[in-house]
Amino acid sequence: MPKIELVYFSCHGRVFVIRALLELSGIDYEDTRLEWSSANFAVQKDDFPLGQLPVLKVDGVSFCQTKAIFAFCQKQTTFKKLKGVESLKADMVYESIEDAWMKMLKPGYVAKAAAGEDITAQGRAFYKTVKSGAVEAFTQIEKILKFAKVDDMVIGGKRSVADLMILNLWIFAHDPRVNVHGYFKENCPTGVQVVERLMQDAKIQEIVAKARQVRYLPY
């Protein structure tokens, strides 16, 4: 097993599912968390392949790009292997959730950029805008879960990254700044069932309890 270090900020941002994957598979890795605006990040920025995070160091060699890191970590998991169509379905659900989530986030980034220099005003604009897109996003997620005939697991009997993506959205919705868990509950009841099923696992409960102590985004 190679020596793995995941370098990211001290928030969930792009890596909640990646950290959860590694932890649930019992993979020993160094979880390096830098402060968003810290001297530490500024000093190391030039050492990162494109000056951004996440970066995965494998036996000391750095790699960037969330999707590439995710794919690598997915190959290391101890999750039951999915068959062809199961894998297609899990990926379809995962990608659909990501699309709906990005559609909710993007106008928030536009509003944040237009809010001027004040970081508090930026945060306010971001979260207000994101909140206004939450019902549509969760309704869309429910639609794909229903289409995929999900009950309480995306692939019955096999945990997949699609289940973790739903948990990721649930954690995002419960972040006190985002605060859209009521919309999640109302508009994505199948997602709630998936989270409740995941939460029957003590390791997931531990991951969730720890995750809820951490901000989702740095602003």
Ligand X SMILES: N[C@@H](CCC(=O)N[C@@H](CS)C(=O)NCC(=O)O)C(=O)O
Which residues contact ligand X (rule: CB under 6 A)? 13-14, 52-54, 64-66
Minimum gap (Å) between residue 70 Cβ and ligand X:
9
Output 65 or 179, the one with its CB closest to ligand X: 65
163 within 8 A of 208, measured Cβ to Cβ: no
**What is the token pair recorded at 196?**
């409740």
Please, which residue, 18 or 208, has the CB nearer to ligand X?
18
How far are the Cα atoms of 52, 54, 214 from residue 22, in angstroms, in the given order? 21, 15, 18
Could you tell me the smallest distance in angstroms from the CB atom of residue 120 to ligand X? 20
CA 4 remoteness from chain centre: 19
C-beta closer to ligand X: residue 64 or 105: 64
Q: 50 vs 209, which CB is nearer to ligand X?
A: 50
Nearer to ligand X among residue 56 and residue 164 (C-beta): 56
What's the min distance (Å) between Cβ of 69 and ligand X? 7
Q: What are phi and psi of 132, to 5 degrees?
A: -70, -15
Closest to ligand X by CB, 74 vs 193, is: 74
* Shortest distance in whole angstroms from residue 51 CB to ligand X: 6
Whether omega before 54 lies within 30 degrees of 0, making that bond cis, reads yes
Angle between helices 161-174 and 16-24 (to 10 degrees): 130
Q: Which of 211, 210, 217 is nearest to 177 (CA)?
A: 217
What is the rounded CA–CA span in Å between residue 16 and residue 33?
12
DSSP state of 2: -
For the CB of residue 26, give the shortest distance to ligand X in the complex, in Å: 25
How far apart CA 194 and CA 150 sit, in angstroms, is: 8
Q: Give the nearest distance from C-beta 143 to ligand X in angstroms.
A: 26
